[in-house]
Amino acid sequence: MIDKLNDLIDLNLTFLLTEHKFSSHHLLNLDKKSFRKYDHLQLANLMAERGLVTINGQNCTLTEEGLLIAKNGSWLAHLDNETKTKSEQQTKADKKVQLESKIAELTEINLTLQNKQLRTKMLFSIIGFILGIIATNWKEILTVLKIISPPETK
């Protein structure tokens, strides 16, 4: 049903392209596919809800947007473009979310690597410090551990 209404709106925008002001009675309110008649006021109100016309009593005026849509193809082309635009925006949003997720993941990996490198540096610093103490005081350490006897004093 919505497709049929969109077909009617499309048909009427094309019909009204040359008119700027018209009576709602002039609307083509016959759906060519189902031959169902729509009330001309109902159709005018639907077009007004979509911002294509303004209604003043029985008179309707094509809005700038309605005129622009009619000149740039049709209502159906406009709807198709809107759908494509929304789809493109969704695709961009999805890609942005994926990239942000990858960035967060890479940042976490980087921080993990930095932490590992820091721990490794600290470990080597501690080992170097201990080796420095041992190298400086090796005789005293061996004496304390009673591996060698203490040097005799004279």
Q: Dihedral through CA 124, CA 129, CA 135, CA 140, nearest 10?
A: -140
Q: Could you tell me the residue ranges of all domains in the chain?
A: 2-73, 95-139
CA pseudo-torsion sign 31, 14, 2, 47: negative
Stretch 36-65: mean pLDDT, rounded?
Answer: 81
Q: What is the pLDDT of residue 106?
A: 93
Residue 142: Cβ within 10 Å count = 14
Q: 2-73: what fold? A: Arc Repressor Mutant, subunit A (1.10.10)
pLDDT, one tens digit per residue, over 80-139 is: 999 999 999 999 999 999 999 999 999 999 999 999 999 999 999 999 999 998 889 888
Q: What is the pLDDT of residues 65-81, one digit of tens each?
A: 998 998 888 899 999 99
**What pLDDT sits at residue 25?**
56
**SS3 assignment, position 21:** strand
